[in-house]
Copies of this chain bind each other. A is one copy, B any other.
Protein backbone atom coordinates (compact mmCIF):
# COMPACT_ATOMS: atom_id res chain seq x y z
CA UNK A 1 0.00 0.00 0.00
CA UNK A 2 1.35 3.43 -0.93
CA UNK A 3 2.56 5.34 2.11
CA UNK A 4 1.56 8.99 2.13
CA UNK A 5 3.75 11.96 2.98
CA UNK A 6 2.45 14.15 5.74
CA UNK A 7 3.29 17.66 6.91
CA UNK A 8 2.25 19.41 10.10
CA UNK A 9 1.48 23.02 11.02
CA UNK A 10 1.69 23.67 14.75
CA UNK A 11 2.40 20.96 17.25
CA UNK A 12 5.79 22.05 18.50
CA UNK A 13 7.12 21.67 22.02
CA UNK A 14 4.49 21.95 24.75
CA UNK A 15 1.55 21.35 22.45
CA UNK A 16 -0.90 18.58 23.26
CA UNK A 17 -2.92 17.85 20.16
CA UNK A 18 0.02 17.85 17.78
CA UNK A 19 1.48 14.84 19.52
CA UNK A 20 -1.87 13.09 19.33
CA UNK A 21 -2.03 13.64 15.58
CA UNK A 22 1.46 12.21 15.21
CA UNK A 23 0.55 9.05 17.15
CA UNK A 24 -2.59 8.73 15.06
CA UNK A 25 -0.75 9.19 11.79
CA UNK A 26 1.91 6.66 12.80
CA UNK A 27 -0.13 3.86 14.31
CA UNK A 28 -1.41 2.29 11.12
CA UNK A 29 1.69 3.03 9.10
CA UNK A 30 -0.12 4.88 6.33
CA UNK A 31 1.79 8.19 6.64
CA UNK A 32 5.36 9.41 6.97
CA UNK A 33 5.73 12.78 8.66
CA UNK A 34 8.36 14.53 6.55
CA UNK A 35 7.77 18.27 6.81
CA UNK A 36 6.54 20.77 9.35
CA UNK A 37 6.00 24.36 10.36
CA UNK A 38 5.78 23.34 13.99
CA UNK A 39 6.03 26.82 15.43
CA UNK A 40 5.90 30.39 14.23
CA UNK A 41 9.23 30.86 16.00
CA UNK A 42 11.83 29.60 13.46
CA UNK A 43 14.30 28.37 16.04
CA UNK A 44 11.66 26.56 18.00
CA UNK A 45 10.25 25.13 14.79
CA UNK A 46 13.64 23.78 13.82
CA UNK A 47 14.36 22.33 17.24
CA UNK A 48 11.00 20.64 17.39
CA UNK A 49 11.40 19.22 13.90
CA UNK A 50 14.84 17.87 14.71
CA UNK A 51 13.57 16.23 17.87
CA UNK A 52 10.85 14.54 15.92
CA UNK A 53 13.13 13.49 13.07
CA UNK A 54 11.19 15.61 10.57
CA UNK A 55 13.31 16.24 7.53
CA UNK A 56 12.06 19.59 6.32
CA UNK A 57 11.36 22.39 8.77
CA UNK A 58 9.68 25.64 7.81
CA UNK A 59 9.07 28.76 9.85
CA UNK A 60 6.09 29.88 7.80
CA UNK A 61 3.14 27.88 6.58
CA UNK A 62 2.77 29.88 3.38
CA UNK A 63 6.35 29.18 2.51
CA UNK A 64 5.80 25.54 3.37
CA UNK A 65 2.72 25.25 1.18
CA UNK A 66 4.55 26.78 -1.74
CA UNK A 67 7.70 24.74 -1.31
CA UNK A 68 5.98 21.42 -0.74
CA UNK A 69 3.60 21.77 -3.65
CA UNK A 70 6.58 22.51 -5.85
CA UNK A 71 8.51 19.38 -4.89
CA UNK A 72 8.11 16.07 -6.66
CA UNK A 73 8.32 14.37 -3.29
CA UNK A 74 6.25 17.03 -1.53
CA UNK A 75 3.71 16.22 1.11
CA UNK A 76 0.38 14.69 0.13
CA UNK A 77 -1.43 16.06 3.14
CA UNK A 78 -0.93 18.47 6.01
CA UNK A 79 -2.18 18.30 9.55
CA UNK A 80 -3.25 21.65 11.03
CA UNK A 81 -2.89 21.44 14.82
CA UNK A 82 -2.67 25.10 15.82
CA UNK A 83 -5.06 26.94 18.17
CA UNK A 84 -8.50 27.62 16.69
CA UNK A 85 -7.82 31.15 15.43
CA UNK A 86 -4.91 29.81 13.42
CA UNK A 87 -6.78 27.08 11.55
CA UNK A 88 -8.19 29.02 8.62
CA UNK A 89 -5.12 30.73 7.22
CA UNK A 90 -2.87 27.68 6.88
CA UNK A 91 -5.76 25.46 5.81
CA UNK A 92 -6.59 27.86 3.00
CA UNK A 93 -2.96 28.11 1.98
CA UNK A 94 -2.57 24.35 1.62
CA UNK A 95 -5.93 23.85 -0.05
CA UNK A 96 -4.97 26.46 -2.60
CA UNK A 97 -1.68 24.67 -3.10
CA UNK A 98 -3.61 21.46 -3.85
CA UNK A 99 -2.48 19.73 -0.68
CA UNK A 100 -5.03 17.74 1.34
CA UNK A 101 -5.82 19.22 4.73
CA UNK A 102 -6.44 17.32 7.97
CA UNK A 103 -7.54 19.99 10.42
CA UNK A 104 -8.22 19.93 14.14
CA UNK A 105 -11.59 21.10 15.41
CA UNK A 106 -13.49 23.35 15.82
CA UNK A 107 -13.23 24.63 12.30
CA UNK A 108 -12.12 28.18 13.18
CA UNK A 109 -12.42 30.81 15.88
CA UNK A 110 -14.85 33.06 13.98
CA UNK A 111 -17.68 32.78 11.50
CA UNK A 112 -15.76 34.90 9.02
CA UNK A 113 -12.80 32.57 9.08
CA UNK A 114 -15.14 29.63 8.66
CA UNK A 115 -16.75 31.19 5.63
CA UNK A 116 -13.43 31.88 3.93
CA UNK A 117 -12.22 28.39 4.67
CA UNK A 118 -15.40 26.84 3.32
CA UNK A 119 -14.98 28.75 0.08
CA UNK A 120 -11.38 27.61 -0.22
CA UNK A 121 -12.41 24.03 0.43
CA UNK A 122 -15.08 24.19 -2.21
CA UNK A 123 -12.72 25.73 -4.73
CA UNK A 124 -10.00 23.18 -4.20
CA UNK A 125 -9.64 19.66 -5.54
CA UNK A 126 -7.89 18.75 -2.34
CA UNK A 127 -9.82 17.12 0.48
CA UNK A 128 -10.62 18.88 3.72
CA UNK A 129 -10.93 16.56 6.71
CA UNK A 130 -11.88 17.67 10.22
CA UNK A 131 -10.62 15.50 13.06
CA UNK A 132 -13.78 14.92 15.03
CA UNK A 133 -11.88 11.95 16.29
CA UNK A 134 -14.64 10.47 18.44
CA UNK A 135 -16.40 9.39 15.26
CA UNK A 136 -13.48 7.01 14.82
CA UNK A 137 -14.58 4.85 17.74
CA UNK A 138 -15.79 1.55 16.30
CA UNK A 139 -18.84 1.33 18.54
CA UNK A 140 -19.95 4.81 17.53
CA UNK A 141 -19.73 3.74 13.91
CA UNK A 142 -21.66 0.60 14.69
CA UNK A 143 -24.29 2.66 16.52
CA UNK A 144 -24.62 4.89 13.48
CA UNK A 145 -25.17 1.89 11.26
CA UNK A 146 -27.65 0.31 13.66
CA UNK A 147 -29.69 3.49 13.68
CA UNK A 148 -29.52 3.78 9.91
CA UNK A 149 -30.73 0.18 9.74
CA UNK A 150 -33.70 1.03 11.92
CA UNK A 151 -32.71 -1.08 14.92
CA UNK A 152 -33.72 1.70 17.31
CA UNK A 153 -36.85 2.59 15.35
CA UNK A 154 -37.89 6.21 15.11
CA UNK A 155 -35.50 8.26 17.25
CA UNK A 156 -37.03 10.18 20.13
CA UNK A 157 -34.58 11.24 22.79
CA UNK A 158 -30.84 11.95 22.78
CA UNK A 159 -28.71 12.65 25.81
CA UNK A 160 -25.21 13.86 25.00
CA UNK A 161 -22.69 15.09 27.51
CA UNK A 162 -19.04 15.94 27.65
CA UNK A 163 -17.74 16.72 31.12
CA UNK A 164 -14.24 17.56 32.29
CA UNK A 165 -12.90 19.24 35.40
CA UNK A 166 -9.51 20.60 34.40
CA UNK A 167 -10.72 24.22 34.30
CA UNK A 168 -12.35 24.04 37.74
CA UNK A 169 -9.97 26.70 38.98
CA UNK A 170 -8.53 29.78 37.30
CA UNK A 171 -5.66 28.64 35.14
CA UNK A 172 -2.04 29.30 35.83
CA UNK A 173 -0.69 31.82 33.39
CA UNK A 174 1.84 29.27 32.18
CA UNK A 175 -0.67 26.56 31.34
CA UNK A 176 -0.45 26.88 27.59
CA UNK A 177 -3.38 24.56 26.95
CA UNK A 178 -5.66 26.53 29.23
CA UNK A 179 -4.41 29.94 28.14
CA UNK A 180 -5.55 29.96 24.54
CA UNK A 181 -8.66 27.93 25.23
CA UNK A 182 -9.91 30.55 27.66
CA UNK A 183 -8.99 33.56 25.53
CA UNK A 184 -12.06 34.38 23.42
CA UNK A 185 -9.95 35.93 20.70
CA UNK A 186 -7.94 32.75 20.22
CA UNK A 187 -10.62 30.14 20.83
CA UNK A 188 -13.83 31.93 19.86
CA UNK A 189 -15.68 30.06 22.59
CA UNK A 190 -15.13 28.06 25.77
CA UNK A 191 -16.47 24.65 26.62
CA UNK A 192 -18.98 24.77 23.76
CA UNK A 193 -16.19 25.07 21.23
CA UNK A 194 -13.55 22.90 22.79
CA UNK A 195 -15.72 19.94 23.76
CA UNK A 196 -19.34 20.87 23.03
CA UNK A 197 -18.66 20.71 19.30
CA UNK A 198 -17.38 17.16 19.76
CA UNK A 199 -20.56 16.12 21.52
CA UNK A 200 -22.72 17.88 18.94
CA UNK A 201 -20.79 16.37 16.07
CA UNK A 202 -20.95 12.90 17.57
CA UNK A 203 -24.69 13.00 18.14
CA UNK A 204 -25.22 14.29 14.60
CA UNK A 205 -22.93 11.64 13.17
CA UNK A 206 -24.47 8.73 15.04
CA UNK A 207 -28.12 9.70 14.68
CA UNK A 208 -27.80 10.97 11.13
CA UNK A 209 -30.20 13.75 12.08
CA UNK A 210 -29.92 17.42 11.23
CA UNK A 211 -30.69 20.03 13.86
CA UNK A 212 -33.83 22.09 13.65
CA UNK A 213 -33.16 24.49 16.50
CA UNK A 214 -31.34 24.80 19.80
CA UNK A 215 -31.33 26.90 22.94
CA UNK A 216 -28.57 27.36 25.47
CA UNK A 217 -27.76 28.48 28.99
CA UNK A 218 -24.03 29.28 29.06
CA UNK A 219 -22.09 30.26 32.11
CA UNK A 220 -18.56 30.99 33.27
CA UNK A 221 -18.24 29.84 36.86
CA UNK A 222 -14.65 30.86 37.41
CA UNK A 223 -14.16 34.50 38.31
CA UNK A 224 -12.77 36.52 35.45
CA UNK A 225 -13.10 33.77 32.87
CA UNK A 226 -14.15 35.32 29.56
CA UNK A 227 -15.57 32.22 27.92
CA UNK A 228 -18.18 29.71 28.99
CA UNK A 229 -16.98 26.84 31.15
CA UNK A 230 -20.38 25.16 31.50
CA UNK A 231 -23.12 24.88 28.89
CA UNK A 232 -26.65 23.52 29.15
CA UNK A 233 -28.19 23.06 25.73
CA UNK A 234 -31.47 21.70 24.37
CA UNK A 235 -31.96 20.71 20.78
CA UNK A 236 -34.85 19.82 18.54
CA UNK A 237 -33.78 17.52 15.76
CA UNK A 238 -35.24 17.00 12.33
CA UNK A 239 -37.78 14.22 12.46
CA UNK A 240 -38.94 15.21 15.93
CA UNK A 241 -36.29 13.87 18.28
CA UNK A 242 -35.40 16.03 21.30
CA UNK A 243 -31.92 16.27 22.76
CA UNK A 244 -30.09 17.59 25.75
CA UNK A 245 -26.40 18.38 25.61
CA UNK A 246 -24.24 19.23 28.58
CA UNK A 247 -20.66 20.43 28.19
CA UNK A 248 -18.61 21.35 31.22
CA UNK A 249 -15.02 21.91 32.14
CA UNK A 250 -15.76 22.46 35.83
CA UNK A 251 -17.47 19.18 36.74
CA UNK A 252 -15.17 17.91 39.48
CA UNK A 253 -14.38 14.22 39.11
CA UNK A 254 -14.79 14.07 35.34
CA UNK A 255 -11.65 13.60 33.28
CA UNK A 256 -12.90 13.33 29.71
CA UNK A 257 -16.38 12.03 30.16
CA UNK A 258 -18.07 12.07 26.79
CA UNK A 259 -21.27 10.04 26.85
CA UNK A 260 -23.97 9.44 24.31
CA UNK A 261 -27.38 7.88 24.88
CA UNK A 262 -29.95 7.53 22.13
CA UNK A 263 -33.50 6.22 22.44
CA UNK A 264 -35.96 5.34 19.73
CA UNK A 265 -39.36 3.73 19.80
CA UNK A 266 -37.84 0.27 19.41
CA UNK A 267 -34.50 0.40 21.18
CA UNK A 268 -31.85 2.35 23.00
CA UNK A 269 -28.05 2.55 23.09
CA UNK A 270 -25.66 3.95 25.67
CA UNK A 271 -21.92 4.54 25.34
CA UNK A 272 -19.17 6.16 27.40
CA UNK A 273 -15.89 7.27 25.90
CA UNK A 274 -13.81 6.49 28.97
CA UNK A 275 -14.59 2.79 28.61
CA UNK A 276 -15.09 2.78 24.85
CA UNK A 277 -14.87 -0.91 24.09
CA UNK A 278 -18.45 -1.61 25.12
CA UNK A 279 -21.88 -0.20 24.36
CA UNK A 280 -25.23 -1.31 25.68
CA UNK A 281 -28.15 -1.93 23.39
CA UNK A 282 -31.69 -2.68 24.50
CA UNK A 283 -34.53 -3.81 22.31
CA UNK A 284 -37.71 -2.68 24.01
CA UNK A 285 -38.92 -5.36 26.37
CA UNK A 286 -35.78 -7.48 26.18
CA UNK A 287 -32.67 -7.70 28.35
CA UNK A 288 -29.98 -5.11 27.80
CA UNK A 289 -27.10 -6.43 25.70
CA UNK A 290 -23.46 -5.49 26.03
CA UNK A 291 -22.01 -5.07 22.56
CA UNK A 292 -18.23 -5.14 22.52
CA UNK A 293 -15.58 -3.97 20.12
CA UNK A 294 -13.95 -6.49 17.85
CA UNK A 295 -16.97 -8.27 16.45
CA UNK A 296 -19.37 -8.24 13.52
CA UNK A 297 -20.79 -4.78 13.13
CA UNK A 298 -17.65 -2.94 14.15
CA UNK A 299 -14.63 -5.09 13.30
CA UNK A 300 -13.94 -3.13 10.14
CA UNK A 301 -12.68 -0.25 12.27
CA UNK A 302 -10.58 -2.21 14.76
CA UNK A 303 -7.12 -3.70 14.85
CA UNK A 304 -7.15 -6.39 17.53
CA UNK A 305 -9.68 -8.89 18.89
CA UNK A 306 -12.35 -8.20 21.47
CA UNK A 307 -11.14 -7.98 25.03
CA UNK A 308 -7.88 -6.33 23.98
CA UNK A 309 -8.93 -2.74 24.58
CA UNK A 310 -8.38 -0.08 21.99
CA UNK A 311 -8.63 3.54 23.00
CA UNK A 312 -8.45 7.18 22.06
CA UNK A 313 -5.36 6.94 19.89
CA UNK A 314 -6.77 4.02 17.91
CA UNK A 315 -9.99 5.93 17.23
CA UNK A 316 -7.95 8.94 16.16
CA UNK A 317 -5.78 6.70 13.99
CA UNK A 318 -8.90 5.43 12.26
CA UNK A 319 -9.58 9.01 11.17
CA UNK A 320 -6.06 9.15 9.74
CA UNK A 321 -6.40 5.78 8.00
CA UNK A 322 -9.70 6.91 6.58
CA UNK A 323 -7.97 10.06 5.42
CA UNK A 324 -5.39 7.95 3.64
CA UNK A 325 -8.19 5.99 2.02
CA UNK A 326 -9.97 9.12 0.92
CA UNK A 327 -6.80 10.58 -0.52
CA UNK A 328 -6.09 7.33 -2.37
CA UNK A 329 -9.71 6.96 -3.43
CA UNK A 330 -10.18 3.72 -1.55
CA UNK A 331 -12.66 4.75 1.15
CA UNK A 332 -13.05 7.22 3.95
CA UNK A 333 -16.78 7.79 3.46
CA UNK A 334 -17.42 8.35 7.17
CA UNK A 335 -14.94 11.20 7.58
CA UNK A 336 -16.11 14.54 8.98
CA UNK A 337 -15.63 17.21 6.35
CA UNK A 338 -16.10 20.93 5.85
CA UNK A 339 -19.84 20.60 6.38
CA UNK A 340 -19.31 19.02 9.77
CA UNK A 341 -17.07 21.98 10.49
CA UNK A 342 -19.70 24.49 9.43
CA UNK A 343 -22.29 22.66 11.52
CA UNK A 344 -20.00 23.02 14.51
CA UNK A 345 -19.54 26.73 13.84
CA UNK A 346 -23.31 27.16 13.67
CA UNK A 347 -23.62 25.24 16.92
CA UNK A 348 -21.17 27.57 18.67
CA UNK A 349 -22.74 30.73 17.32
CA UNK A 350 -26.29 29.58 17.97
CA UNK A 351 -25.43 28.70 21.56
CA UNK A 352 -23.93 32.13 22.07
CA UNK A 353 -26.85 33.92 20.44
CA UNK A 354 -29.39 31.95 22.44
CA UNK A 355 -27.57 32.60 25.67
CA UNK A 356 -27.35 36.32 24.94
CA UNK A 357 -31.13 36.38 24.51
CA UNK A 358 -31.93 34.51 27.70
CA UNK A 359 -32.07 31.11 26.08
CA UNK A 360 -34.43 31.65 23.17
CA UNK A 361 -34.62 28.97 20.50
CA UNK A 362 -32.35 29.59 17.53
CA UNK A 363 -33.30 27.95 14.25
CA UNK A 364 -30.78 26.30 11.98
Q: Is A242 an interface residue when CB atoms closer than 8 A count as contact?
A: yes
The 6 closest A-B pairs by CB, nearest first: A256-B307, A255-B307, A253-B282, A309-B311, A252-B268, A253-B268
Cross-interface CB contact of A309 among B283, B284, B309, cutoff 8 Å: B309
- Is A110 an interface position by the 8 A CB rule? no
Contact B19 A303 (CB under 8 A): yes
**Interface residue? A251 (CB, 8 A):** yes
B308 pairs with A230, CB closer than 8 A: no
With A251-B157, A305-B256, A308-B312: A290-B290 Cβ-Cβ less than 8 Å:
yes
Shortest CB–CB separation between residue A152 and chain B, in angstroms? 8
Bound CA span A63–B42, Å: 47
* A19: B residues at CB distance < 8 A: 303-304
Chain B residues with CB under 8 A of A267:
252-253
Nearest Cβ in chain B — how far from A293, in angstroms?
A: 9
Q: How many residues of A contact B (CB 8 A)?
A: 85
Residue of B whose beta carbon sits closest to that of A17: B304
* Minimum C-beta distance from A105 to chain B (A): 15
CB distance from A26 to the nearest CB of B (A): 6
CB distance from A261 to the nearest CB of B (A): 8
Please name the residue on chain B nearest to A165 by beta carbon. B284
A257 within 8 A of B: yes
With A19-B303, A253-B268, A287-B292 already in contact, 10 other A-B pairs whose C-beta atoms are closer than 8 Å: A26-B26, A27-B27, A157-B251, A159-B161, A168-B265, A169-B265, A215-B359, A221-B265, A252-B266, A274-B277
> Are B312 and A310 interface neighbours, CB within 8 A?
yes
Distance to closest chain B CB from A254 (angstroms): 7
Is A289 in contact with chain B by the CB < 8 A criterion?
yes
CB-defined A-B contacts under 8 Å, sample of 5? A157-B250, A255-B305, A288-B290, A290-B290, A304-B312
Q: Is the C-beta of A291 less than 8 angstroms from some C-beta in chain B?
A: yes
B169 touches A284 (CB 8 A): yes
- A217 an interface residue at 8 Å Cβ cutoff? yes
Q: Report how far A53 CA is from B30 CA in the complex, Å.
A: 11
Q: A29-B26, A232-B242 are in contact. Are A253 and B270 (CB under 8 A)?
A: yes
Min CB distance, A362 to chain B, in Å? 12
Check if A313 sits within 8 Å of B304, measured CB to CB. yes
- Nearest chain B CB to A203's CB is how many angstroms away? 14
